[in-house]
């Protein structure tokens, strides 16, 4: 049975949280749930540990993370099977996630060596003769990392890796649906040489454990990935702390008249239905020029219908279940609402337990939830536009702004899209659901603030001091 790691020790006692397979409901494992008392112990340990851990060298921290990356590569199949068992994505998707996490830890280790201040050109100020100014970067101290279920390894690595690289003590709070992968990563980090000062992992309700951690004055930095509602609550609770918020999206894909329809279909299938649509940058809305709408639907509908779904451990399956039956039921209810308002169901729409068919909708009324909110499920809405201005207005009509894509061969149209699209990540001739782990990643509007990607996260998880040498003559 799984154990928690807090205050420098593995803990097996306490009320246990069951982790069940999203596909068939079978028990995968269980883990102790954190108590308020354990949270307090963890915070005290992290506060003391941060003072010790900040004295480690960048060279040491870089070495630990590099060894962690090598160990993860060696244990990749075990991690992949754990991800599939508790999250439900296919084994191919889980193996790809492990590969990305290896890269994320490697990058974090490399960035540990690049933490540097900068020279300040103080001689550009009046009365500056004889003075020298520069900055130094120091760790924040105690970092709380709260991660979602949909990438239970790589999104943990994106927070824990940079936090350790920057010299912080981090308390990890993974999603209650997927704690097992995170706990395995903590064990791996300790095996790689990371000291217990630097890492702890608590499991429990976000409303209880998360709020207790985020409100504590000993915490200096919070990094959160999740829903807008929870993110807003954390910001209100946090007070004067440094925060990074990745709060989801409702990503549009624009298809211009000159687009390569076959490439559009390929991108839409991969990014709209990967991980059963449970990705923040999943393609949720496709907006097509009216002159190519028919051709697009003719090509896209059979491709979506042909997506093999089912047991995520079976060869050939491309889409597994959603994380819980309740989530699949929610998606089905949103689709039913759109149909009642006049939307046309092109493909799919059926649900059984946690499995929801890959679904395609058209003629969806503007105020439907599947258009205006984050669906986080395996359905894509297709609409039409007559001009790039109309397309941008529709694409920007939601409060989200995480990622967007456009297919066009025209440079001027691409530049108009770059200028007018309100999203933090823009893709030309690919769909929104693409991310390189080294790039700056984050959203605009209600999709949050701050950037992830190891180089940018290390900067966000460290603070800057300005030093001025004054003449004594």
Q: At what angle do helices 58-74 and 154-165 cross, to 10 degrees?
A: 160
Domain that holds residue 353: 251-437
Q: What is the count of structural domains for the chain?
A: 2
pLDDT digits (tens, 9 = 90+) for 276-298: 999 999 999 999 999 999 999 99
- Among the options 246, 327, 357, 452, which is catalytic? 246
pLDDT of residue 40: 96
User: Residue 473's CB: how many other CB atoms inside 10 A?
Assistant: 3
Domain containing residue 19: CATH number: 3.40.605.10
Nearest C-alpha neighbor of 242 from the set 163, 352, 151, 130: 163
pLDDT of residue 159: 98
Query: Does residue 270 share a domain with residue 166?
Result: no
Residue 366 has pLDDT above 90, yes or no: yes
pLDDT of residue 467: 98
* pLDDT classification of 108: cutoffs 50, 70, 90: very high
pLDDT of residue 157: 98
Residue 249 has pLDDT above 90, yes or no: yes
Query: Does residue 425 share a domain with residue 297?
Result: yes
Instruction: Kindly give the residue spans of alpha helices, DSSP state H, lying in 287-431.
Output: 290-305, 325-340, 369-372, 388-395, 411-420
Q: Is residue 473 part of a domain?
A: no
Q: What would the mean pLDDT of 454-460 be, rounded to a whole number? A: 98
In three-state secondary structure terms, 438 is coil
pLDDT of residue 311: 97
- Among the options 280, 374, 422, 459, which is catalytic? 280
Query: Does residue 357 share a domain with residue 431?
Result: yes
Residue 63 has pLDDT above 90, yes or no: yes
pLDDT of residue 121: 95
Query: Does residue 256 share a domain with residue 208?
Result: no
- Mean pLDDT (the chain) is 97
Report CA 357 to chain centroid distance, whole Å. Answer: 24
Q: Is residue 142 part of a domain?
A: yes
Residue 235 has pLDDT above 90, yes or no: yes
Q: What would the mean pLDDT of 232-251 be, rounded to a whole number? A: 95
pLDDT digits (tens, 9 = 90+) for 205-230: 888 899 999 999 999 999 999 999 99
Q: Is residue 174 part of a domain?
A: yes
**What is the b/e burial string over 217-228, where b = at least 16 CB atoms within 10 angstroms of the residue's CB?**
eebbbbbbbbeb
Query: Does residue 171 share a domain with residue 23?
Result: yes
Query: Does residue 411 share a domain with residue 451?
Result: no
pLDDT of residue 192: 98
Q: Are 213 and 219 in contact (CB under 8 A)?
A: yes
Q: What would the mean pLDDT of 185-190 be, rounded to a whole number? A: 98
In three-state secondary structure terms, 276 is helix
Instruction: Write the burial class of residue 410 (CB in 10 Å: 0-12 exposed, 13-18 middle, 19+ buried).
Output: middle
Query: Does residue 453 share a domain with residue 335?
Result: no
Query: Does residue 367 share a domain with residue 264?
Result: yes
Query: Does residue 170 share a domain with residue 94?
Result: yes
Sign of dihedral through CA atoms 43, 174, 152, 447? negative
Sign of dihedral through CA atoms 193, 196, 202, 206? negative
Query: Does residue 148 share a domain with residue 13?
Result: yes
Distance, CA of 377 to CA of 363 (rounded, Å): 19
Q: What would the mean pLDDT of 17-32 be, rounded to a whole number? A: 97
pLDDT digits (tens, 9 = 90+) for 77-93: 999 999 999 999 999 99
Domain containing residue 298: CATH number: 3.40.309.10
Query: Does residue 280 share a domain with residue 421?
Result: yes
Q: Are 122 and 468 in contact (CB under 8 A)?
A: yes
* Sequence-ordered list of residues with C-beta below 8 angstroms from that of 188, at least 6 positions apart, any chain: 68, 71, 72, 75
Residue 30 has pLDDT above 90, yes or no: yes
Instruction: Kindly give the residue spans of alpha helices, DSSP state H, lying in 54-90.
Output: 58-74, 76-87
Q: Is residue 442 part of a domain?
A: no
pLDDT digits (tens, 9 = 90+) for 395-405: 999 999 999 99
Q: Is residue 341 part of a domain?
A: yes
pLDDT of residue 230: 94
pLDDT digits (tens, 9 = 90+) for 109-141: 999 999 999 999 999 999 899 999 999 999 999
Q: Is residue 321 part of a domain?
A: yes
Q: Is residue 221 part of a domain?
A: yes
pLDDT of residue 420: 98
140 is catalytic: no
246 is catalytic: yes
Q: Are 403 and 432 in contact (CB under 8 A)?
A: yes
Q: Is residue 410 part of a domain?
A: yes
Query: Does residue 309 share a domain with residue 390?
Result: yes
């Amino acid at each position: 049975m799984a154990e928690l790691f807090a205050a420098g020790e593995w803990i097996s006692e306490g009320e246990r949280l069951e982790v069940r397979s999203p596909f068939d409901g079978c028990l995968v494992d269980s883990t102790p749930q954190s108590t308020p008392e354990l949270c307090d112990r963890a915070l005290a340990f992290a506060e003391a540990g941060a003072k010790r851990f900040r004295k480690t060298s960048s060279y040491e921290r870089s070495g630990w993370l590099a060894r962690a990356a090598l160990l993860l590569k060696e244990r990749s199949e075990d991690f992949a099977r754990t991800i599939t068992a508790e999250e439900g994505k296919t084994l191919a998707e889980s193996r790809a996630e492990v590969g990305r996490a290896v890269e994320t830890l490697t990058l974090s280790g490399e960035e540990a060596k690049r933490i540097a201040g900068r020279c300040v050109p103080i001689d550009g100020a009046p009365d500056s003769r004889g003075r020298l100014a520069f900055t130094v970067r120091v760790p924040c101290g105690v970092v709380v990392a709260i991660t979602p279920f949909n990438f239970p390894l790589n999104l943990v690595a994106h927070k824990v890796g940079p936090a350790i690289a920057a010299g912080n003590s981090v308390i990890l709070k993974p999603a209650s649906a997927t704690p097992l992968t995170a706990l395995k990563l903590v064990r791996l980090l300790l095996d790689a040489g990371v000291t217990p000062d630097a890492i702890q992992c608590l499991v429990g309700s976000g409303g209880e454990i998360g709020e207790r951690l985020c409100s504590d004055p000993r915490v200096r930095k919070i990094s959160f990935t999740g829903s807008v509602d929870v993110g807003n609550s954390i910001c209100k609770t946090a007070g004067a702390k440094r925060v990074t918020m990745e709060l989801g999206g409702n990503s549009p894909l624009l298809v211009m008249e000159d687009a390569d329809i076959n490439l559009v279909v390929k991108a839409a299938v991969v990014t709209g239905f990967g991980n059963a649509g449970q990705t923040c940058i999943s393609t949720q809305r496709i907006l097509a020029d009216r002159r190519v709408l028919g051709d697009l639907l003719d090509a896209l509908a059979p491709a979506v219908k042909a997506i093999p779904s089912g047991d995520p451990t079976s060869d050939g399956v491309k889409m597994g279940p959603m994380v819980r039956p309740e989530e699949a039921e929610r998606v089905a209810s949103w689709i039913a609402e759109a149909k009642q308002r006049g939307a046309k169901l092109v493909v799919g729409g059926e649900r059984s337990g946690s499995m929801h068919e890959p679904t395609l909708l058209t003629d969806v009324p503007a105020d439907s939830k599947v258009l205006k909110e984050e669906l986080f499920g395996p359905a894509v809405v297709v609409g039409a536009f007559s001009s790039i201005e109309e397309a941008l207005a529709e694409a920007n009509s939601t409060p989200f702004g995480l990622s967007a894509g456009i297919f066009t061969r025209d440079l001027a149209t691409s530049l108009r899209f770059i200028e007018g699209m309100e999203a933090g990540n823009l893709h030309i001739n690919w769909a929104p659901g693409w991310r390189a782990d080294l790039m700056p990643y984050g959203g605009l509007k209600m999709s949050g603030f701050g950037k992830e990607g190891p180089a940018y996260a290390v900067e966000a998880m460290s603070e800057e001091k300005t030093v001025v040498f004054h003449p004594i003559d």
